[in-house]
Amino acid sequence: MMQPPLMTDRMALVRHRARAGTLADHRSALFLHDLARSDIKERLNEVNRTFTAPAIVTGYPQVWADFHPDARLVPDDDLLALDPQCHDLVIHAMGLHWANDPVGQLVQCRRALRPDGLCIVVLLGGATLNELRTSLAEAESAVTGGLSPRVLPMGEIRDLGALMQRTGFALPVADSLTQTVLYRDLGRLFADLRAMGETSALAARPRGLTRRAVFGSAEAVYRNSFVTPEGMLKATFEMVFLTGWAPHDSQQQPLRPGTARQRLADALGVPEKPLPKDS
């Protein structure tokens, strides 16, 4: 049986991240990681539990190394270096959107958790760079008459939330945080993406040089559709947070259908009206 083609060129992704680390503005460009760290800290404070054996899956160990004093850092490879039931907390930090097998990544995280252990995943969601995606597609189509895969396709929050349930997590929750960043021109946005290590590592990306007319046209489309009154280009970054627990008997369980002890109408304090009969 033939394997489906891979979405991500892992070697290119590693090269892009390594190159990003050499750039002068690398650390400041990782503002999304800083937002993720802050948000996850708040979530952990609300859990009211002490975690003693956490693991953090990340391609950016320099950012997450001091997040938790007892955390084990694990590269976000296709096969995660996680042992079964060894952790009470697993954080998958800002890398799942590049995974060739996101379902497999979540299954590995769940198996690494002890019963009643917590998993928090943060990744870029489907609204990310929608302005750039639209502008490049329109420009390339107008200049060359065709389209090339240039921006990573990212999952929608509804589909990502369903993956948590599909992979066996209990009490799954999905929510998102949208950050709009302003750039003076398209070149500055591209520079930020390079410093983030988030430039295209698609396996099907075009390998040759792109005609300058494509980028010129893309900036014109961008300025026509996604600009502030002050002339700044708007770029959207959607961060999706997925939370789930390894199943345990102590967790709240849904009631079986037909076991309710009170009618909904009584609980709401309204009269119950029968449905009209079909004519």
Per the CB < 8 A criterion, the answer to whether 151 and 132 are in contact is yes
Give pLDDT, residue 149: 84
Give pLDDT, residue 88: 97
In the chain, how long is the greatest CA-to-CA distance? Answer: 74
Which parts of the chain sit beneath pLDDT 70? 1-4, 252-279
Residue 219 CB neighbour total at 10 angstroms:
17
Per the CB < 8 A criterion, the answer to whether 140 and 146 are in contact is yes
String of DSSP letters for 161-182: HHHHHHTT-EEEEEEEEEEEEE
Q: Return the structure tokens found at 139.
A: 């420009």
Give pLDDT, residue 209: 81
Strands 233-245 and 113-124: antiparallel
Q: Which residue, chain included where needed, has tokens 């859990």?
A: 47
* Structure confidence by residue, pLDDT tens digits, 55-99: 999 999 999 999 999 999 999 999 999 999 999 999 999 999 999
* Residues β-bridged to residue 88: none
Domains of the chain: residue spans and CATH: 10-248 (3.40.50.150)
Give pLDDT, residue 105: 96
Hey, is 247 helix, strand or coil? Answer: coil
Give pLDDT, residue 35: 97
* Residues β-bridged to residue 181: 235
